[in-house]
Amino acid sequence: MNLLLDIGNTNVKWAWHDGSLHGFGELEHQDADLGNVVDAIIDSDHDADGIWIASVADDEFTKELGEALADEFDIEPYYVEVEPEAFDVNIAYEYPERLGVDRWLAMIATRTVSDGPVLVADAGTALTVDGLLDDGTHVGGLICPGIHLMQDAVFEDTAEVADHAADDADGIELFADDTGAAVVSGSTFAAVALIEYAADELERISGELPEVYLTGGAAAAIAPLMGLEVHVLRELVLRGLALLVETEAE
Protein backbone atom coordinates (compact mmCIF):
# COMPACT_ATOMS: atom_id res chain seq x y z
CA MET A 1 0.00 0.00 0.00
CA ASN A 2 1.29 3.44 -0.91
CA LEU A 3 1.16 6.59 1.18
CA LEU A 4 0.53 9.67 -0.98
CA LEU A 5 1.23 13.18 0.29
CA ASP A 6 0.31 16.55 -1.15
CA ILE A 7 2.29 19.15 0.80
CA GLY A 8 0.98 22.64 0.11
CA ASN A 9 1.99 26.03 1.39
CA THR A 10 -0.33 25.74 4.40
CA ASN A 11 -1.66 22.19 4.69
CA VAL A 12 -0.39 18.68 4.19
CA LYS A 13 -2.94 16.27 2.73
CA TRP A 14 -2.55 12.55 2.44
CA ALA A 15 -4.30 9.40 1.34
CA TRP A 16 -3.58 5.70 1.08
CA HIS A 17 -3.62 3.93 -2.25
CA ASP A 18 -4.01 0.24 -3.01
CA GLY A 19 -5.81 0.47 -6.33
CA SER A 20 -8.14 3.13 -4.98
CA LEU A 21 -7.76 6.15 -2.71
CA HIS A 22 -8.98 6.07 0.87
CA GLY A 23 -8.00 7.20 4.35
CA PHE A 24 -7.86 10.88 3.41
CA GLY A 25 -6.39 13.28 5.96
CA GLU A 26 -5.43 16.93 6.17
CA LEU A 27 -3.52 19.02 8.69
CA GLU A 28 -2.14 22.54 8.76
CA HIS A 29 1.63 22.26 8.94
CA GLN A 30 2.62 25.90 9.32
CA ASP A 31 4.05 26.36 12.82
CA ALA A 32 3.06 22.77 13.63
CA ASP A 33 5.31 20.37 15.50
CA LEU A 34 6.77 17.87 13.03
CA GLY A 35 6.10 14.99 15.40
CA ASN A 36 2.41 15.87 15.56
CA VAL A 37 2.22 15.94 11.77
CA VAL A 38 3.86 12.54 11.50
CA ASP A 39 1.62 11.08 14.22
CA ALA A 40 -1.48 12.32 12.38
CA ILE A 41 -0.37 10.66 9.16
CA ILE A 42 0.63 7.30 10.65
CA ASP A 43 -2.32 7.06 13.04
CA SER A 44 -3.91 4.18 11.16
CA ASP A 45 -3.63 0.46 10.56
CA HIS A 46 -1.83 0.98 7.24
CA ASP A 47 1.77 0.09 6.53
CA ALA A 48 3.47 1.88 3.66
CA ASP A 49 5.19 -0.08 0.90
CA GLY A 50 5.88 3.20 -0.87
CA ILE A 51 5.82 6.90 -0.02
CA TRP A 52 5.07 9.40 -2.79
CA ILE A 53 5.48 13.10 -2.03
CA ALA A 54 4.39 16.08 -4.11
CA SER A 55 5.39 19.32 -2.42
CA VAL A 56 5.35 23.05 -3.08
CA ALA A 57 6.18 23.79 0.54
CA ASP A 58 9.46 24.85 2.10
CA ASP A 59 12.27 22.48 1.10
CA GLU A 60 13.43 22.07 4.69
CA PHE A 61 10.01 21.03 5.97
CA THR A 62 9.49 18.70 3.03
CA LYS A 63 12.84 17.01 3.67
CA GLU A 64 12.25 16.70 7.41
CA LEU A 65 8.80 15.19 6.93
CA GLY A 66 10.07 12.81 4.28
CA GLU A 67 12.92 11.64 6.50
CA ALA A 68 10.60 11.17 9.48
CA LEU A 69 8.22 9.03 7.42
CA ALA A 70 11.15 7.10 5.97
CA ASP A 71 12.28 6.26 9.51
CA GLU A 72 8.77 5.24 10.49
CA PHE A 73 8.15 2.91 7.55
CA ASP A 74 11.75 1.99 6.71
CA ILE A 75 11.40 3.05 3.08
CA GLU A 76 12.76 6.05 1.18
CA PRO A 77 10.15 8.43 -0.22
CA TYR A 78 9.87 9.31 -3.89
CA TYR A 79 9.66 13.05 -4.54
CA VAL A 80 7.54 13.76 -7.59
CA GLU A 81 8.73 16.25 -10.20
CA VAL A 82 6.93 17.78 -13.17
CA GLU A 83 7.32 15.97 -16.49
CA PRO A 84 6.94 18.28 -19.49
CA GLU A 85 5.20 15.69 -21.69
CA ALA A 86 3.44 12.92 -19.83
CA PHE A 87 -0.04 11.61 -19.11
CA ASP A 88 -1.43 13.35 -22.18
CA VAL A 89 -0.45 16.80 -20.87
CA ASN A 90 2.11 18.99 -22.63
CA ILE A 91 3.32 21.78 -20.36
CA ALA A 92 3.47 25.30 -21.83
CA TYR A 93 6.34 26.48 -19.60
CA GLU A 94 9.73 26.93 -21.25
CA TYR A 95 11.16 25.71 -17.93
CA PRO A 96 8.67 23.04 -16.76
CA GLU A 97 10.45 22.65 -13.42
CA ARG A 98 9.15 26.10 -12.50
CA LEU A 99 5.56 24.88 -12.66
CA GLY A 100 4.18 23.82 -9.29
CA VAL A 101 3.95 20.04 -9.11
CA ASP A 102 0.49 20.37 -7.56
CA ARG A 103 -0.77 22.21 -10.65
CA TRP A 104 0.67 19.52 -12.91
CA LEU A 105 -0.88 16.68 -10.92
CA ALA A 106 -4.27 18.40 -10.88
CA MET A 107 -4.13 18.80 -14.65
CA ILE A 108 -3.22 15.19 -15.37
CA ALA A 109 -6.02 14.05 -13.06
CA THR A 110 -8.60 15.93 -15.13
CA ARG A 111 -7.46 14.16 -18.30
CA THR A 112 -8.94 10.94 -16.92
CA VAL A 113 -12.42 12.45 -16.59
CA SER A 114 -12.59 14.86 -19.53
CA ASP A 115 -11.54 14.67 -23.18
CA GLY A 116 -12.36 18.30 -23.97
CA PRO A 117 -10.81 21.61 -22.95
CA VAL A 118 -10.44 21.95 -19.20
CA LEU A 119 -9.88 24.81 -16.79
CA VAL A 120 -8.34 23.77 -13.46
CA ALA A 121 -8.54 26.21 -10.54
CA ASP A 122 -6.86 25.45 -7.22
CA ALA A 123 -8.18 27.77 -4.54
CA GLY A 124 -5.71 27.30 -1.74
CA THR A 125 -3.24 29.65 -0.10
CA ALA A 126 -2.67 30.92 -3.63
CA LEU A 127 -5.27 30.78 -6.38
CA THR A 128 -3.90 29.08 -9.47
CA VAL A 129 -5.72 28.69 -12.78
CA ASP A 130 -4.52 26.52 -15.67
CA GLY A 131 -6.01 25.85 -19.09
CA LEU A 132 -5.82 22.68 -21.15
CA LEU A 133 -6.96 22.18 -24.74
CA ASP A 134 -8.73 19.01 -25.81
CA ASP A 135 -5.44 17.48 -27.01
CA GLY A 136 -3.77 18.04 -23.61
CA THR A 137 -1.88 21.16 -24.61
CA HIS A 138 -1.33 23.38 -21.59
CA VAL A 139 -1.94 26.97 -22.70
CA GLY A 140 -0.49 28.40 -19.47
CA GLY A 141 -1.91 29.66 -16.23
CA LEU A 142 -2.35 32.36 -13.61
CA ILE A 143 -1.31 32.74 -9.99
CA CYS A 144 -2.68 35.29 -7.53
CA PRO A 145 -3.28 35.45 -3.78
CA GLY A 146 -5.95 33.09 -2.49
CA ILE A 147 -9.06 34.58 -0.93
CA HIS A 148 -7.66 34.43 2.61
CA LEU A 149 -4.42 36.11 1.55
CA MET A 150 -6.47 38.84 -0.10
CA GLN A 151 -8.41 39.34 3.12
CA ASP A 152 -5.23 39.38 5.21
CA ALA A 153 -3.71 42.04 2.96
CA VAL A 154 -6.69 44.34 3.52
CA PHE A 155 -6.85 43.75 7.26
CA GLU A 156 -3.11 44.17 7.77
CA ASP A 157 -2.58 47.19 5.53
CA THR A 158 -5.76 49.17 6.20
CA ALA A 159 -5.94 50.41 9.76
CA GLU A 160 -9.66 51.21 9.82
CA VAL A 161 -10.70 47.94 8.22
CA ALA A 162 -8.49 45.95 10.59
CA ASP A 163 -10.89 46.80 13.39
CA HIS A 164 -13.61 44.78 11.66
CA ALA A 165 -12.89 41.07 11.73
CA ALA A 166 -13.82 38.85 8.81
CA ASP A 167 -15.23 36.42 11.35
CA ASP A 168 -18.14 38.83 11.79
CA ALA A 169 -19.16 38.41 8.15
CA ASP A 170 -22.60 36.88 7.76
CA GLY A 171 -22.64 35.19 4.38
CA ILE A 172 -21.26 36.28 1.05
CA GLU A 173 -23.13 38.79 -1.09
CA LEU A 174 -22.04 41.11 -3.86
CA PHE A 175 -23.16 44.27 -2.08
CA ALA A 176 -22.32 43.73 1.59
CA ASP A 177 -23.64 46.01 4.36
CA ASP A 178 -20.72 45.51 6.78
CA THR A 179 -16.99 46.13 6.40
CA GLY A 180 -15.90 42.62 7.40
CA ALA A 181 -18.47 41.09 5.08
CA ALA A 182 -17.38 43.42 2.29
CA VAL A 183 -13.78 42.20 2.55
CA VAL A 184 -14.81 38.54 2.60
CA SER A 185 -17.25 38.98 -0.27
CA GLY A 186 -14.84 41.11 -2.28
CA SER A 187 -12.02 38.58 -2.11
CA THR A 188 -14.36 35.68 -2.90
CA PHE A 189 -15.98 37.37 -5.88
CA ALA A 190 -12.53 38.45 -7.13
CA ALA A 191 -11.60 34.75 -7.32
CA VAL A 192 -14.91 33.91 -8.99
CA ALA A 193 -14.46 36.65 -11.59
CA LEU A 194 -10.91 35.57 -12.42
CA ILE A 195 -11.95 31.94 -12.94
CA GLU A 196 -14.94 32.91 -15.08
CA TYR A 197 -12.82 35.28 -17.17
CA ALA A 198 -10.23 32.54 -17.71
CA ALA A 199 -12.98 30.10 -18.72
CA ASP A 200 -14.29 32.61 -21.27
CA GLU A 201 -10.80 33.12 -22.68
CA LEU A 202 -10.16 29.37 -22.90
CA GLU A 203 -13.47 28.98 -24.75
CA ARG A 204 -12.34 31.68 -27.20
CA ILE A 205 -9.01 29.91 -27.75
CA SER A 206 -10.40 26.39 -28.04
CA GLY A 207 -13.75 27.15 -29.67
CA GLU A 208 -15.47 25.01 -27.06
CA LEU A 209 -16.84 25.66 -23.58
CA PRO A 210 -14.32 24.13 -21.16
CA GLU A 211 -15.18 21.98 -18.20
CA VAL A 212 -14.17 23.75 -14.99
CA TYR A 213 -12.67 21.82 -12.09
CA LEU A 214 -12.19 23.44 -8.69
CA THR A 215 -9.97 22.09 -5.95
CA GLY A 216 -8.39 23.50 -2.80
CA GLY A 217 -9.75 24.60 0.55
CA ALA A 218 -11.85 27.49 -0.79
CA ALA A 219 -13.40 25.56 -3.66
CA ALA A 220 -16.64 24.90 -1.80
CA ALA A 221 -17.07 28.62 -1.06
CA ILE A 222 -16.41 29.66 -4.65
CA ALA A 223 -18.42 27.02 -6.51
CA PRO A 224 -21.98 28.19 -5.61
CA LEU A 225 -21.17 31.70 -6.83
CA MET A 226 -19.96 30.65 -10.26
CA GLY A 227 -22.08 31.59 -13.26
CA LEU A 228 -21.19 28.36 -15.03
CA GLU A 229 -21.19 24.67 -14.22
CA VAL A 230 -18.21 23.54 -12.16
CA HIS A 231 -16.95 20.29 -10.66
CA VAL A 232 -15.50 20.40 -7.14
CA LEU A 233 -12.85 17.77 -6.38
CA ARG A 234 -10.79 18.72 -3.34
CA GLU A 235 -8.58 15.64 -3.74
CA LEU A 236 -7.62 16.44 -7.34
CA VAL A 237 -3.87 16.62 -6.65
CA LEU A 238 -3.93 13.27 -4.84
CA ARG A 239 -5.87 11.76 -7.75
CA GLY A 240 -3.09 12.86 -10.06
CA LEU A 241 -0.51 11.41 -7.70
CA ALA A 242 -2.40 8.12 -7.72
CA LEU A 243 -2.08 8.02 -11.52
CA LEU A 244 1.70 8.11 -11.17
CA VAL A 245 1.60 5.24 -8.69
CA GLU A 246 -0.64 3.15 -10.92
CA THR A 247 1.53 3.77 -13.98
CA GLU A 248 4.66 2.81 -12.05
CA ALA A 249 2.98 -0.46 -11.01
CA GLU A 250 2.18 -1.48 -14.60
How far apart (Å, rounded) are the C-alpha atoms in residues 138 and 143? Answer: 15
Give CA torsion, residues 229, 9, 40, 236, to 10 deg: 30
Checking DSSP bridges between strand 85-86 and strand 78-79, what pairing results, if any?
Answer: unpaired
Checking DSSP bridges between strand 138-145 and strand 230-232, what pairing results, if any?
Answer: unpaired
Query: How many other CB atoms are found less than 10 A from the CB of residue 5?
Result: 25
How far apart (Å, rounded) are the C-alpha atoms in residues 228 and 151? Answer: 25
The residues that are catalytic are 102
CB contact burial 205-244 (16+ within 10 A = b; e otherwise): ebeeebbbbbbbbbbebbbebbeeebbbbbbbbbbbbbbb
Give the single-character DSSP code of 137.
B
Q: Are 27 and 38 in contact (CB under 8 A)?
A: no
Strand partners, 214: 121, 232
Which residue, among 214, 36, 59, 47, has the nearest Cα to 129 in the 3D structure?
Answer: 214
| Through-space distance between the first and last CA atoms of the chain, rounded to whole angstroms | 15
